[in-house]
Structure 1
């Protein structure tokens, strides 16, 4: 899977992208700027626009398009998230037609509950766990079975590269919840 960018779960993608990022819904109309796209490609590949991207002199500076597909990805090396969109340019007549948004899919959304923690060296040591504030654990994790001593459960998490991580969620009163 090295070098390959796979599609991500919408909630995970949005959690990584941040609360200020939103994506258009499928079927919506968007404006595509070919020149800006060419400049973006040149900047990210460290190549000249003219050397890498063909010049289309008759292409308008912006195109009204309909969004047909959105996939969410993360760069394998940097974990930077980005989206890939499939656009269909609309003809001049289609642009004049009355536009009624059609819901072709479920809009992607920001997760309602999540907890972020930058792991330290002690969190990844051999003692087998890291502390999570009780309030965060109760908000994000499935409820614990308090009939067990100590209350515990196994959690499976996936990272940006679809790698599974297994954790044992244990409630310890003095540590306010340990994962």
Structure 2
């Protein structure tokens, strides 16, 4: 399996995503995991079986996280025994260039922590109809071009240069970067329409350019949140769903044995594996009705924005299947000035 660039993975995953590092202690929320599984199957969460002996959260050690490019994600999604040898795989769907993370966790009785990183130099742009036109080019924001791309020679009558970027599949793409027009703007023209057609990009999708520590260019994409086709029975059956999704976690909880989970950062708006230190910091905060609450959300162009609101309720999201769970147990009334634009 080919190694995958970690900076590119994080850029594609989103600005708020941070996978805990190997050897760190984390808190796993099976209720959140079941929400992702249900969404991938286009089912209600009731479709995913719960296990009475499975706690609503597990403190675990994260083992052997490595980054790879693989085509096995759908096949192994509900593997009840985890990946052989506990090897963790980050994969990219060959049809969509979307990234996934596979993590092997092991429950622990005692309890530590480091940090993951986002790429330092990158920009993200949501594609317009013009950007995806077969006869057009890609209009690069002025500040982004100056920050990421090598400087152009503006003494030339028509400043231009060739850019070579590598995607998740280690395929290289060559574009012509030119500065022209009225008013003057940065464009990628030659090679761009081939990239758009090959990746089947549409207006609303996003493209990321990253400059890594070696000043090499990496190229990633994020699909707009369109309805995903349900997984076919040839890939994943309802039987394997019932046997595999949370069965491995329930068995691991009872035996302190390793188990494997998969995380799709673009399909799961809420991380269900979080650093223990982050969880503890939240638990130290006194929460009660009427308290002001703030939370970061991803908005367009890969930017993040803090939204403010007031806690209006504290209750179980699913009191029947997950009683006394801390997973999404706060109800927040968002400030009227931002409620209409806040992502759901």
Q: TM-score range by the shorter chain?
A: 0.5 to 0.7
Residues 27/122 of structure 1: CA separation in 2 closer, same or farther (3 Å cut): closer
Q: Which has the higher strand share?
A: 2
TM-score with structure 2 length normalisation? 0.37
Asked if 1:45 is matched to 2:41, the reply is: yes
Separation of aligned partners in 2, 1:77 and 1:46 = 19
Q: Which one of 101, 105, 112 corresponds to residue 121 of structure 2?
A: 112
Matches within 5 A, 1:53-68: 58-68=53-63
CA positional deviation for 1:164:
3.4
Q: Is the 8 A contact 1:27 1:66 kept in 2?
A: yes
Matches within 5 A, 1:1-179: 8-34=4-30, 36-38=32-34, 40-45=36-41, 48-50=47-49, 58-68=53-63, 69=65, 71=67, 72-77=90-95, 80-90=98-108, 92=109, 95=110, 99=112, 101=113, 107-121=116-130, 124-126=133-135, 129-146=137-154, 150-159=158-167, 162-172=170-180, 174=182, 175-179=184-188
Residues 119/89 of structure 1: CA separation in 2 closer, same or farther (3 Å cut): same
Separation of aligned partners in 2, 1:12 and 1:116 = 15
Structure 2 portions without partners, runs of 5+: 68-89, 189-344
Separation of aligned partners in 2, 1:117 and 1:124 = 14
TM-score with structure 1 length normalisation? 0.63
Separation of aligned partners in 2, 1:8 and 1:85 = 16
CA positional deviation for 1:21:
2.5
CA positional deviation for 1:143:
2.0
SS in 2 for 1:143: coil
Q: Is the 8 A contact 2:15 2:118 kept in 1?
A: no
Structure 1 portions without partners, runs of 5+: 1-5
Separation of aligned partners in 2, 1:39 and 1:132 = 37
SS in 2 for 1:139: helix
CA positional deviation for 1:29:
0.3
The count of aligned residue pairs is 161
CA positional deviation for 1:64:
1.8
> C-alpha offsets along residues 83-125 of structure 1, whole Å, 9 cap, x if unaligned?
22122222x3xx15xx4x4x6xx72314433141404246533
